[in-house]
Chain A
């Protein structure tokens, strides 16, 4: 970031991979697991609890991969709020910030409650509470609120632990948790009879369905890795280290949780002193104390066990509480700074330089939740909010990869895209639904918070939000006076060719009885401020005026001039926004580079536009097409190619030849396909004929044949994106080498178009 004197200034990058991994681990092993184990063993059974942590780890890993991909491409502080703004715009980013704020607050309340529970439990083991004579429940609430209040004050003072001290702290926590796991495994080896504690594997009352409920309830134990995204400005080599740290931390924490759950179950010898009935029921009956009660039995003396567990939980919960308060206050501060919430939220204390208003409101939520809600409801509420938040992130990763994949420099790409984020979306939706079995209150509070957020955005934030540089902006727009049933957009990328393009599209517009939208996208380099973007508009405005001279007297016409950072994305965005049915644009026929087939602008448009796309090459001027060749291989693109060919071919003496190249063994029935299209389009038999040539080289056969025609109309490939990228496909190879005027078409429809309409 350059300051006014032109001196470069930025945060020093001194957080290593180890430190940021520890940062994520420290947040995750933030005490949620300590109260979660006992409750999940009681709900899902001993094996069910292990399954809960394993499957949650897998779902969390899918989400961590989404975070990793996004952080590697956009390594800036801001996390989900930032990703949502880039992917979906201001409304969704407000919602992300709003959810993140509440999720962090509720997680903070949970950590305060866990601190209180385990501290008082330790004091009770010393007999101090009986001596004082306090009611334990009221005392727990009071201690939770006191510790939350203390850390709110610490945050107001501006104290925060540095990366190195934080890493050491987390290392200590990890060592403790891992030693519990190791003790449990050793105990099971020494006394294999304790494996019988896993019988029955699942809770007989409810079985597998209970598993989904506990998975949703315990999901909060996997919250925390997302804070790594916040370290984007301070991490060494962030494009490499941020994704690694996120993925490693989720993997390590999953293995740790599974091992600790195993240790908790085998820690208790059936029938030993102080236990009764089945071990898993005994652990489950203790609920949030289950983990502590069981693990205390792993150590030689009960007192030592209680003390070690209390110390570990106190360290974990306090460091996590401090971090979540910081994170919650920062989320609400960012909303205030961008005027999505009243500006007071961004007010900074004069002396301490901390956002005191944001902290105050954060404190109100944390103290209310910690003071009023039962522990199980607090945990469920935190889980449901994080499920909502992670749901948004998985949507963001899909949308950003599809829309901006060619513009961003990625340091990591997840494998098997889009399967991991889609699976995560499905699982998170299921888990959120099943939380209702653990806490109905969570299902009231969570959605209510989201609905309130939507209301605040619509009534307050939308009109006050500060716009940002990388959004697509409309400079001028004139609406069509009477829109027809069909909407055609003509994208005038090069104003010099505007007239040629419009003269050719004239026929298409006439045949479809369409209203026409002329759009000129103006690419403005990142370095140029918005205030200077107007100077790039002049040529586009001239092109549009010239085109309008021809089209305006005949068709309802609308015009648009838009600023964007990337033409392809800008055009696709306009097509979606205006619900366009057909997009027409020109192609210079320039040589393709390694990774693009037709060019860096046209390829993304063909891949992502949710409407029919028609690309014209050398079709300008007042050309007439009497002999038109249409290579066909079935499918919607072939059908659209024949339709477009029929429109562009001279009406009286024009001839269309549908060409198939037989390479042997093909099952395509060209005659039936042509007959079907002839009937559909009402083409007379003498106007459309079928020709079959036999050749092993399909591309060469089409090119040789095309030389004898006035126009070649090609359907684009319908192969999956990955295969298109890896291997250039036949239509694109033909288009690149074709010397006659060319029209390439891609039909809309099907799942892909539906996905692109929304993503």
Chain B
């Protein structure tokens, strides 16, 4: 038995009358989670690169300390 919200969400996305199987649910969740993780990593990296560039490239130790302060 699958939650009703489960099917409702997929009807909204265009799935017709039938229920969604577990592979589809897991697959969609993995795709969404991976894309969100990738977006976060890209945004964080951009922030870190800009912050390091403003202060000038330096050693890993100093950057970790600085980034930790800036978070």
Binding site for B on A (CB under 8 A): 47-48, 50-51, 54-55, 57-58, 61, 65, 68, 72-73, 188, 192-193, 195-196, 198-202, 207-208, 237, 239-240, 243-244, 247-248, 251, 254-255, 258, 401, 405-415, 594-596, 722, 725-726
Residue of B nearest to A723 (CB): B68
> Which residues of chain A are within 8 angstroms of B65 by Cβ–Cβ distance?
594-595, 725-726
A415/B41 in contact, CB under 8 A: yes
Over the window 14-48 of chain B, the binary record of Cβ atoms lying under 8 Å from chain A Cβ atoms (1 yes, 0 no) is 11100001011001101100110111011011101
Tally B residues with Cβ within 8 Å of A. 38
> Which residues of chain A are within 8 angstroms of B27 by Cβ–Cβ distance?
47-48, 50-51, 201-202
Distance in angstroms between the alpha carbons of A54 and B31 in the assembled complex: 6
A413/B23 in contact, CB under 8 A: no
Residue of A nearest to B60 (CB): A405
> Which residues of chain A are within 8 angstroms of B2 by Cβ–Cβ distance?
none
Q: How far is the CB of B65 from chain A (nearest CB, A)?
A: 6
- 15 of the cross-chain contacts (CB-CB < 8 Å) are A47-B28, A61-B38, A61-B41, A193-B14, A198-B24, A200-B23, A201-B24, A248-B42, A258-B31, A401-B60, A410-B52, A410-B58, A411-B52, A725-B64, A726-B64
B48/A413 in contact, CB under 8 A: yes
Distance in angstroms between the alpha carbons of A193 and B30 in the assembled complex: 23
Interface residues of A: mostly helix, strand, loop or mixed?
A: helix
> Which residues of chain B are within 8 angstroms of A240 by Cβ–Cβ distance?
49-50, 52-53
Q: A201-B23, A409-B58 are in contact. List 4 more A-B contacts (CB 8 A).
A: A201-B27, A207-B23, A247-B41, A254-B38
A195/B13 in contact, CB under 8 A: yes
Q: How far is the CB of B29 from chain A (nearest CB, A)?
A: 11
A244/B14 in contact, CB under 8 A: no
> Which residues of chain A are within 8 angstroms of B68 by Cβ–Cβ distance?
722, 725-726
Binding site for A on B (CB under 8 A): 13-16, 21, 23-24, 27-28, 30-31, 34-35, 37-39, 41-42, 44-46, 48-50, 52-53, 56-65, 67-68
> Which residues of chain B are within 8 angstroms of A51 by Cβ–Cβ distance?
27, 30-31
Option from B34, B44, B52, B61 in Cβ contact (under 8 Å) with A54: B34
> Which residues of chain A are within 8 angstroms of B14 by Cβ–Cβ distance?
188, 192-193, 195
Distance in angstroms between the alpha carbons of A195 and B42 in the assembled complex: 30
> Which residues of chain A are within 8 angstroms of B57 by Cβ–Cβ distance?
72-73, 239, 409-411
Residue of B nearest to A405 (CB): B60
A407/B59 in contact, CB under 8 A: yes
> Which residues of chain B are within 8 angstroms of A202 by Cβ–Cβ distance?
23, 27
Taking each of A239, A258, A412, which has the highest tally of chain B beta carbons within 10 Å of its own beta carbon? A412
